[in-house]
Chains A and B, each alone.
Chain A
């Protein structure tokens, strides 16, 4: 299969358990030729560009209690205080107080907050990107109720404008912008994949229908690494009798614009899906097993579009749960013990916590919850674009051990999740630690257990 690797500058690595660009011989963690002062200016201006009341309230409320460290997998596994979540946005907190807060003049006059330098921002790149999956666990421990993860996202906006994004994350985001997919799942590749899957699996996969009730999207990881997910989607759609389609003008739900902090790219990527869904008159847009794609469209989509979306946005697990409830989705009982890994952006921060459990209940599994579980679940360590960054690997493996232990402690036979990014992080961790557990996809598990007579 050709990865259609049209970008020779940042070639993809599609053979390893974790998909990214190849490990660069020379890192370019600074993009563009811009004077340092200009970088700092851009970072700070764009940090505050979307800086409304909410962010200002959060900025004014921190009492430096340090509790957030205890919720962060990076701090908990390393004991290194620099991974304290609120410290990860320190230069931006400093700049807010010095330049933009109600008492900015006071802080400047007494020099209580020094000006931020480009060196400081470069130093912080590791904290804002490599060691934050934006999992939002810290937001739940903060006694002041500060949503620290949302501030990291704002900080990434600033860093992206300043051209200070880690090499690989920037490279895949740029590929997404130029080619329509960060991991080589261009429209041509997607079309070829579908043709191949239709032949090999003898399934019907509608593409580019002019009108459809339901439009489905996939993540590039699924298209390139887990193409069975496409087949699973098709089988399930047929099973429930959905009038559905994929569309080449909007199929890629992965949004590295969001993860890298490039708000313009984020918007363009989201608008492709929104326009495609509108073009085919879809009443429902189904997002794939991808954590950040859910946040990008379900919660940010309408805000990007500028008005309420004229269709519903559902994660595939929510769609499955709806059809379990309606009785259209009839499943065979698996009879095994299962533990469900909650993807942070879907469960903790997205609110779709019960849907996958309702589907698992319909599969007749013995569900063994992790401790802590559900919305307090530990992140796998691959979210927020971290899994693409090679230099972050040692740290990522360290935090992954927390996850392995959690799953092992349940004693469940099968770990299951509903995020392909989590899944590839697990695949990579499994290979690294020679772990005896393989992460399963809820979607594929459902597709493999459809009741025949109902199909």
Chain B
């Protein structure tokens, strides 16, 4: 079995399996923990409105804007760049549609009535490069900032590595640089698989838990009328 066959076959299968089971294991393991009911009389009739924190905490409050600007701007630059490159690149879309069809037996277009939009390769490459540069800047900040350096651990650096790896290998594959195309694609796929395998064990889980934690603080604070 050559590298590409492994990456496309058993490699992908096991990576996705570990990812799905791991994510579910962690989320279920946390969500199923006991939650004591709050017996105090709420100040506000419905705490559900506190779920707005899921949206409002997306950007810092005015008072914190200046002091967190570097992290916030670079963080968003990375996230948006990464998302665009992941979700709007035609070969990725073809891959996802293939998985989609495999899972539910119909085309994406057949379900949603529209085809999946995509950007040109140049836009995607630029987007990936921006995300790549933002990640480099974030790493430099993590090492240079006394606060970030102190609180960082293996998870922070390894998660950074497995996140930048698919970006780097993807850009190399796009440019056909450094190795035969098939090898580049195989390495790109393997780097994605590494990310998927690590995902449930480290901080990448914030992709899901951010909604839980913001929602929890939002609802608990809202019932008290506390500042959100």
Q: Are the C-beta atoms of A144 and B61 separated by less than 8 Å?
A: no
Q: Are the C-beta atoms of B33 and A53 separated by less than 8 Å?
A: yes
- Against B, the Cβ 8 Å flags (1 = close, 0 = not) of A130-155 are 00000000011111111100000000
Report the bound CA distance from A352 to B228 in whole Å: 13
> Which residue of B25, B38, B209 is within 8 Å of A144 (Cβ)?
B209
Stretch of A56-64, A187-195, A285-293 contacting B (4+ beta carbons < 8 Å): A56-64
**Known interface pairs A60-B26, A140-B61. Does A375 touch B201 (Cβ–Cβ under 8 Å)?**
no
> Which residue of B40, B212, B228 is within 8 Å of A140 (Cβ)?
B228
Q: Are the C-beta atoms of A75 and B34 separated by less than 8 Å?
A: no
Stretch of B64-72, B80-88, B90-98 contacting A (4+ beta carbons < 8 Å): B64-72
For residue B29, give the distance in angstroms from its CB to the closest CB of chain A: 3
Stretch of B110-118, B152-160, B185-193 contacting A (4+ beta carbons < 8 Å): B152-160
Stretch of B2-10, B140-148, B165-173 contacting A (4+ beta carbons < 8 Å): B140-148
Which of chain A's residues have a CB closer than 8 A to the CB of B220? 54, 147
Report the bound CA distance from A347 to B205 in whole Å: 33
Q: Are the C-beta atoms of A84 and B201 separated by less than 8 Å?
A: no
Report the bound CA distance from A57 to B67 in whole Å: 26
Which of chain A's residues have a CB closer than 8 A to the CB of B58? 143
For residue B105, give the distance in angstroms from its CB to the closest CB of chain A: 33
Is the CB of B128 closer than 8 A to any CB of chain A?
no
For residue B134, give the distance in angstroms from its CB to the closest CB of chain A: 14
Which of chain B's residues have a CB closer than 8 A to the CB of A70? 64, 67-68
Is the CB of A86 closer than 8 A to any CB of chain B?
yes
Q: Are the C-beta atoms of A61 and B209 separated by less than 8 Å?
A: yes
Q: Are the C-beta atoms of A75 and B227 separated by less than 8 Å?
A: no
Q: Are the C-beta atoms of A112 and B71 separated by less than 8 Å?
A: no
Interface size bracket, A side: 35 or more
For residue B222, give the distance in angstroms from its CB to the closest CB of chain A: 9
For residue B121, give the distance in angstroms from its CB to the closest CB of chain A: 31
> Which residue of A60, A305, A308 is within 8 Å of B205 (Cβ)?
A60
Q: Are the C-beta atoms of A140 and B227 separated by less than 8 Å?
A: yes
Q: Which of B28, B33, B43 has the most CB of A within 10 A?
A: B33
Which of chain A's residues have a CB closer than 8 A to the CB of B32? 53
Q: Which of A65, A87, A103, A308 has the most CB of B within 10 A?
A: A65
Which of chain A's residues have a CB closer than 8 A to the CB of B34? 52-53
For residue A102, give the distance in angstroms from its CB to the closest CB of chain B: 3
Top-5 shortest CB links A-B? A375-B227, A351-B225, A102-B29, A145-B214, A302-B39
Q: Are the C-beta atoms of A66 and B57 separated by less than 8 Å?
A: no
Q: Are the C-beta atoms of A145 and B227 separated by less than 8 Å?
A: no
Q: Are the C-beta atoms of B41 and A308 separated by less than 8 Å?
A: yes
For residue B31, give the distance in angstroms from its CB to the closest CB of chain A: 6
Residues of A within 8 A of B (CB): 50-54, 56-58, 60-67, 69-71, 75, 79, 81-82, 84, 86-87, 90, 101-103, 106, 112, 139-147, 298-303, 305-309, 312-313, 347-353, 372, 374-376
B58: nearest residue on chain A (CB-CB)?
A143
Residues of B within 8 A of A (CB): 22, 25-26, 28-36, 38-41, 43, 53-54, 57-58, 60-61, 63-64, 67-68, 71-72, 75, 145-156, 200-201, 203, 205-206, 209-210, 212-218, 220-221, 224-228
Which of chain A's residues have a CB closer than 8 A to the CB of B43? 351
Q: Are the C-beta atoms of B147 and A141 separated by less than 8 Å?
A: no
Report the bound CA distance from A84 to B30 in whole Å: 25
A308: nearest residue on chain B (CB-CB)?
B39
Q: Are the C-beta atoms of A348 and B226 separated by less than 8 Å?
A: yes
Which of chain A's residues have a CB closer than 8 A to the CB of B29? 101-102
Q: Are the C-beta atoms of B64 and A71 separated by less than 8 Å?
A: yes
> Which residue of A112, A141, A309 is within 8 Å of B64 (Cβ)?
A141
Q: Are the C-beta atoms of B68 and A141 separated by less than 8 Å?
A: yes
Which of chain B's residues have a CB closer than 8 A to the CB of A298? 40
**Known interface pairs A54-B216, A141-B60, A145-B53. Does A303 touch B30 (Cβ–Cβ under 8 Å)?**
no
Q: Are the C-beta atoms of B218 and A53 separated by less than 8 Å?
A: no
Which of chain B's residues have a CB closer than 8 A to the CB of A305? 39
Report the bound CA distance from A350 to B220 in whole Å: 11
For residue B127, give the distance in angstroms from its CB to the closest CB of chain A: 22
B63: nearest residue on chain A (CB-CB)?
A372
**Known interface pairs A57-B213, A353-B225. Does A64 touch B75 (Cβ–Cβ under 8 Å)?**
no
Which of chain A's residues have a CB closer than 8 A to the CB of B41? 302, 308-309, 312-313
Q: Are the C-beta atoms of A145 and B210 separated by less than 8 Å?
A: yes
Q: Are the C-beta atoms of B212 and A102 separated by less than 8 Å?
A: no
> Which residue of B63, B68, B200, B216 is within 8 Å of A58 (Cβ)?
B216
Which of chain A's residues have a CB closer than 8 A to the CB of B35? 52-54
Q: Are the C-beta atoms of A106 and B225 separated by less than 8 Å?
A: no
Which of chain B's residues have a CB closer than 8 A to the CB of A61? 206, 209-210, 212-213
**Known interface pairs A54-B220, A144-B210, A303-B40. Does A375 touch B226 (Cβ–Cβ under 8 Å)?**
yes
Q: Are the C-beta atoms of B147 and A84 separated by less than 8 Å?
A: yes
> Which residue of B39, B153, B206, B227 is within 8 Å of A306 (Cβ)?
B39
Q: List 15 A-B contacts (CB under 8 A).
A: A52-B34, A53-B31, A57-B209, A70-B68, A84-B147, A102-B26, A103-B22, A103-B26, A103-B200, A140-B61, A143-B72, A145-B57, A145-B214, A303-B36, A375-B227
Which of chain B's residues have a CB closer than 8 A to the CB of A347? 227
Which of chain A's residues have a CB closer than 8 A to the CB of B212? 57, 61
Q: Are the C-beta atoms of B68 and A67 separated by less than 8 Å?
A: yes
Which of chain B's residues have a CB closer than 8 A to the CB of A81? 146-147, 149-151
Q: Are the C-beta atoms of B152 and A63 separated by less than 8 Å?
A: no
Which of chain B's residues have a CB closer than 8 A to the CB of A313? 41
Known: A66-B145, A143-B58. 15 other contacts (CB 8 A): A52-B34, A64-B148, A64-B151, A64-B156, A79-B146, A81-B147, A87-B150, A140-B227, A143-B57, A144-B213, A145-B214, A299-B40, A302-B38, A350-B225, A353-B225
Q: Are the C-beta atoms of B227 and A144 separated by less than 8 Å?
A: no
